[in-house]
Amino acid sequence: MEAVKMQGEQAVQLVNQNETLKEILKEMTGLKEEMDKTAATTKRRLGEVENLVSEIDKRVHIDDAEASEIKSIIGRQAHAFAKEYFKQAGVTPSDNLFASKKGQFIRLQHSHLKHHFNVTKYTHIKHTEAVKAFDFLKSLQFSAFSLFETRETPKQKEIIALENGVA
C-alpha cells in the first residue's frame, strides 16, 4: 500500500512538473515571439534610418571651408595654366592680359568641375564628395583643355589691341 501511495505521490509530482514545464515552455515561446517582433521592428526602423541618411547625404552640399579650398585650388591652378599658356605661345603678357587669361582658366576649371560632378553650381557638390572634387581639380592638366577652350577671348583680343596701340 505504501508503495502505491508513493507511486501516486510521484505521479502527482510528475503531473505538477509537467504543468510547470508547459508553463515555462509557453512563456519561452511568448518571449521568442516578442523577440522576433522586436527584431523585425528594429530591422524595419534601421532600414528607415538608412534611407533617411541616404536622402540627407543627397542634400548636404559642401560647406564654406570646402568651397574655399576649391576656390584656392582653382586659383593656384589657373595661375599655373595661364603661365603655361603664355610659355607655349612664346609671349610675355601684360598684367591685364595675364589676369584675363587666368580668369578664363578659372571659368574653365569651374565648368569642368561642374560637368564632372553633374551639378549646376560647384557649391552643389555633395559634402561626401568634397575630397573627390579636390582630387579632380588637382589632377587637371593644361592638356585637359581644348584649343577652342583656351582660344583668345574677344576681351583678350581687345586688351592686346589696346596695348599695341591699335584701337
Would you call 66 helix, strand, or coil by DSSP?
Answer: helix
52: amino acid identity, one letter: L
Q: Same domain for 38 and 89?
A: no
83 and 151 inside one domain = yes
Q: Of 15, 36, 59, which residue sits at a domain end?
A: 59
Phi first, then psi: give them for residue 61, nearest 5 degrees.
-95, 175
What confidence score (pLDDT) does residue 167 get? 54
pLDDT digits over 34-61, tens only?
A: 999 999 999 999 999 999 888 887 778 9
Q: How many domains does one find in the chain?
A: 2
Please check whether residue 136 is in contact with residue 159, taking contact to mean a CB–CB distance below 8 angstroms: no
Q: Does 159 lie in the same domain as 84?
A: yes
For the stretch 96-144, pLDDT in tens is 999 999 999 999 999 999 999 999 999 999 998 999 999 999 999 999 9
Give the burial class of 29: count Cβ atoms within 10 A of its Cβ; 0-12 exposed, 13-18 middle, 19 or more buried: exposed
CA distance 56 to 51: 9
Say yes or no: 98 and 139 in one domain: yes
Query: Looking at the structure, do residues 141 and 82 belong to the same domain, yes or no?
Result: yes
DSSP-derived letter for residue 122 is: G
Shared domain for 98 and 138, answered yes or no, is yes
Query: What confidence score (pLDDT) does residue 166 get?
Result: 67
